[in-house]
Amino acid sequence: MARKLPRKDVVIVGLGWTGAILAHELTESGLDVVAIERGPWRDTATDFNIGYVSDELRYAVRRDLFLQPAQETLTMRNTTSQTALPMRDFGSFLPGTGVGGAGVHWNGHTWRFYPSDFNLKSHLTERYGAARLADLQIQDWGVSYDEMESAYDRFEYLCGISGKAGNIGNKIQPGGNPFEGPRKRDYPLPPMEMTYAPTLFAEAARSLGLHPFPTPSANLSKAYVNPLGIAMGQCTMCGFCERFGCANYSKSSAQTTVLPVLMRKSNFEARCNSEVLHVNLDATGKMARGVTYVDGNGEEWEQPADMVLLCAYGLHNARLMMLSKIGKIYDPQTGEGTVGRNYAYQTNAGVQLFFDDKNFNPFVAAGALGQTVDDFNGDTFDHAALDFVGGAGINCIPTNGRPIGFRPTPPGTPRWGSAWKKATRDNYLKAFGFSSQGSSYAARGNYLDLDPTYKDRFGRPLMRMTFDFPDNDIRMSHWVSDRMEEIAKALKPRQYVQARRNKSWNSVPYQSTHNTGGAIMGADPKTSAVNKFLQSWDVPNVFVIGASAFPQNAGKNPTGTVGALAFWAADAIRNQYLRNPGPLVQA
Amino acid sequence: MLSGWYFFKPDEARALEAIVDRLIPPDDLSIGGKDAGCAAFIDRQMAGSYGDSSRLYTKGPFMHGLPTQGYQGDATPAMRYRAGLAAIDAYLKKAMSNRGFAQLTAAEQDLFLKDLEAAKVDLGKIDGKALFNLVLQNTMEGFFADPIYGGNRDMASWKMIGFPGARYDYRDHVAKHNQPYPHGPISIGGSPDWSRKG
């Protein structure tokens, strides 16, 4: 039986990016806030120490900082006709855990979505007609880019994002992304200094009339002091970025941008190694009373609170809603229910190039140090004569030369023996790749619900993921792969090798930890779980913040939009909800 | 450097050392997998949380899955090595005049490994190709991981390919496009140069 703790104003589930931002914002309003985090406390000096952080086996291969499947995993299948089985090890995506969440070990690509991404259904229907979207379940977000602009700006300045604006106040800026929505000012820091491979990639892309620009990066190009007064250092391009914590205070994370201020506040408390089992609802099921969690000693506690903010990883937000009976679980047969609806992913492909006469020093790298071509992303190009919607950013961002994972050899090379060794030696410094990060548009049969068979360590059902790449997205990816082939040819390598995207989605090889949807935002409670302020339609003192809110995914990394949504939701709570607690949008 | 074996029995260790020395043979590019410590690396991995799958989801029911659903067996890596090496030994002793893997000639060893990789060896209940892939993966991990784990002795693999190891500041070299990096590797444990002076 859970022991009851004294009431708090706000309980936050998960202390990653969104939890830290919400906690900071709401404690500024004087609220008494507790964050409950199932993973450990982690900080730079103690947990990402330069003396041992450069350890590929421990962090990149054995994935020491990540959520371990023994703690929680999911079951997966490609279609409803299959039996879902547990992902006994994570592979295709790698959720985080612990303080800072996945924001500890991300690469740092920090994007804004396009204005047309936010009203995607209306925009595409108007431009291409409703028939083009018939096989998809695309929706509008209920919020516009213009409404989000200031939230994006605040996240970028919190982080010290290094980049080059392409559009300030509707004036196109040379050297930036000419397709981006208007921003009110430039990035806080200039772009990172370019390594060799992205430099060549950009030259080749320009020779084809494309518009390459430096990828907006949360690896800092210069020392920076953020608006909270927290100092960060210049990135040293060590090449131990994604899957690693940064030892150098150079990668934006909750640890490097928020926690040093947040942890000193007397009205904030973090409880680590404590896993929330469910949100407690009152007898009507319309109000949350707090949460129940199990601490590191296995003891169960009830934490009453006036508000509950779900700030876990997006997938886990959706699962907590299901386990707590907040809203109705989506049914793909009837289309009814909203929790678990519109799960989407990322549709990626790649190309690798081999040269004889070039040395790329692949180990001189950072998670987001590179160049992007966005001429074929979202709706930046005319799809009228094409047979798909959506697109992909083409990114040349060589993130590392860590040799357990990075050993490019041409096709036909043996996997072992002296011939393998020679090819490995000959190609290590002389190869690089670039890739397309494609949109993933929602489809009726792609969704999340609870597994009927498999349970977690507390006996609760695992979440079940049913997903395959929609035909639209496969057609999109192949078309963008054709464009990548043109860039590859312009680079004149000895050889290039394409890795195209085909069905079916395979849960084993790593692809992307950009899982979106499951608790999507929108204007209609029949087709969305939360309103435009990320407030549950069903339980208005619950807010659900994360990529779980994306109605579908764009061809961009989600964290910039996730961080902006955190500020957007915080504003709604501070400026509207606290004055008049209740639904902020009438259903 | 080594203080005995943690997991493998003497016969298993001998066979595994012979296997890793064919996967990564000694030649003019580098020492072989055996001298690099790849078998010792695998031994230590088997004795820890990788070997016993204690971080993975290991609850039943165990069902045969689709390729997209990943490994669905109930055997841990340690169990797979134990059973796998025994099955290889039994197979070879029957097929190769009572000789185990370590007693074969290098050419015979290579031929057997190629057949195992190509799923041409019948090891009964054991999936030989999957076993080969597991051993190959772990051998490469050992060869290319930091030497603190017992493989990659003297940073042999890093020297071979030109990876500078656990360095953390390349700011002086970012703009030096298409130029070789001038420094050799260092490990988390340091560099031999640091302790051999004086």
- 3-state SS, one letter per residue, for A95-134: CECCCCHHHHCCCCECCCCCHHHHCHHHHHHHHHCHHHHC
Contact A138, A121 (CB under 8 A): yes
Torsion angles phi and psi, residue A365, rounded to 5: -165, 160
d(CA A30, CA A26): 7
Please work out, in degrees rounded to the nearest 5, the angle formed at the alpha carbon of residue A351 by the alpha carbons of B140 and A419.
Answer: 35
Contacts of A239 in chain B (CB under 8 A): 170
Of B158, B164, B177, the CB nearest to A196: B177
Q: Which of A105, A109, A123, A514 is catalytic?
A: A514
Give the A window 248-307 contacts with B, CB below 8 Å.
Answer: 248
Both tokens of B42, joined, read 């695998």
The residue ranking higher by pLDDT, A62 or B191, is A62
The three-state secondary structure class of A234 is: coil
Under 8 Å between Cβ of A249 and A225: no
- The DSSP element (H or E) to which A206 belongs, if any, is helix A196-207
Please state the domain extents for chain B. 10-163
Please determine, for residue B58, whether its predicted confidence score (pLDDT) is greater than 90.
yes
CB-count burial class (<10 Å; 0-12, 13-18, 19+) for A422:
middle
DSSP single-letter state for residue B74: S
Residue ranges in chain A modelled with pLDDT below 70: none
Q: Which residues contact B22 (CB under 8 A, 6 or more apart)?
A: A416, A417, B33, B106, B109, B110, B113
Query: pLDDT-derived band of residue B191, with 50, 70 and 90 as boundaries?
Result: confident
φ/ψ (deg, to 5) at B158? -65, -40
pLDDT in tens, A398-412: 999 999 999 999 999
Report the candidate in A65, A55, A131, A72 with the shortest Cα–Cα distance to residue A97: A65
CA nearest A74 in B: which residue? B57
* Strand, coil or helix: B34: helix
Tell which residue, B115, B111, B76, B82, has the closest CA to residue B11: B82
Select the residue of B61, B165, B169 nearest A236 (Cβ to Cβ): B169
Q: Give me A250's structure tokens.
A: 């150079």
Beta partners for residue A303, in sequence order = A291
Contacts of B27 in chain A (CB under 8 A): 418, 421
Is pLDDT above 80 for B198? no
Alpha carbon A69 to its chain's center: 19
- Which residue from A52, A56, A238 is facing B170, i.e. has the nearest CB? A238
How far is residue A165 from each of residues A183, A188, A397, A523, A559, measured CA to CA in Å? 8, 10, 18, 31, 18
CA distance A302 to A343: 31
CB of A424 less than 8 A from some CB of B: yes
Number of separate helices (H) and strands (E) present in chain B: 8, 0
Please report where in the chains the tokens 């043979």 appear, as a residue: B25
- Compute φ and ψ for B135, nearest 5 degrees: -65, -40
Helical packing angle, B128-144 and B10-23, nearest 10°: 80
The rounded distance, in Å, linking the Cα atoms of A259 and A21 is 9
Q: CA nearest B18: which of B34, B29, B6, B31? A: B34
Domain locations in chain A?
3-577
Chain-centroid distance of CA B177 in Å reads 34
Three-class SS of A36-85: ECCCCCCCHHHHCCCCCCCCHHHHHHCCCCECCCCCCCEEEECCCCCCCE
Query: What distance in Å separates the CA atoms of residue B195 and residue A262, rounded to the nearest whole number?
Result: 44
What residues are paired with A296 via a beta bridge?
none
In which band, very low, low, confident or very high, does the pLDDT at B197 lie, cut at 50, 70 and 90? low
DSSP state string for A476-520: HHHHHHHHHHHHHHHT--SEEEEE---SSP-SSS------B-SS-
Q: Which residues of B touch A402 (CB under 8 A)?
A: 163
- Among residues 64-103 of chain B, which lie with CB inside 8 Å of chain A? 65-72
Q: Check CB contact of B36 with chain A, cutoff 8 Å.
A: no
Q: In Å, how far from its chain's centre is CA A185?
A: 24
CB neighbour list of residue A401: distance below 8 Å, 6 or more residues apart: A239, A361, A362, A363, A364, A365, A428, B163
Q: How far is CA A163 from CA A215, A219, A255, A434, A443, in A?
A: 7, 10, 22, 19, 34
User: Among the CATH numbers 3.50.50.60, 3.30.1390.20, 2.30.40.10, 3.30.450.20, which is that of A3-577?
Assistant: 3.50.50.60
d(C-alpha A327, C-alpha A520), whole Å = 12
**Distance of alpha carbon B13 from alpha carbon A415, whole angstroms:** 22
- Rounded Cα–Cα distance for residues B36 and B46 (Å): 18
Q: Say what the pLDDT of residue A468 is.
A: 98
| Residue A528, amino acid | S
A292, containing H or E segment: strand A288-294
Q: Provide the β-strand partners of residue A392.
A: A438
Among partner residues B27, B158, B180, which is closest to A418 by beta-carbon distance?
Answer: B27
* Rg of chain B, C-alpha, whole Å: 19
Mutate to test the interface with B, among A219, A237, A363, A402 (most CBs of B within 10 A): A363
Q: What is the pLDDT of residue B33?
A: 98
Strand-pair category, A461-466 with A542-544? unpaired
Q: Which chain A residues are Cβ-neighbours of B129 within 8 angstroms?
A: none
Could you report the predicted ipTM of this complex, rounded to two decimals?
0.97
CB contacts < 8 A (A, B): 169
Q: What is the distance between the alpha carbons of residues A556 and A437, in angstroms, rounded to a whole number?
A: 7
Q: How far apart are CA B75 and CA B54, in angstroms?
A: 12
A510: alpha, beta or left, given left = phi > 0 and alpha = psi -120 to 50? beta
pLDDT of residue B194: 78
Chain A contacts of B117, Cβ < 8 Å? Answer: 415
B169-179: pLDDT as tens digits: 999 999 999 99
Q: Does A514 qualify as catalytic in the annotation?
A: yes
Give me the pLDDT at residue B1, please: 43
Q: Looking at CA atoms only, how far is residue B154 from chain A in angstroms? A: 15
Of A162, A211, A202, residue with least CA distance to A186: A162
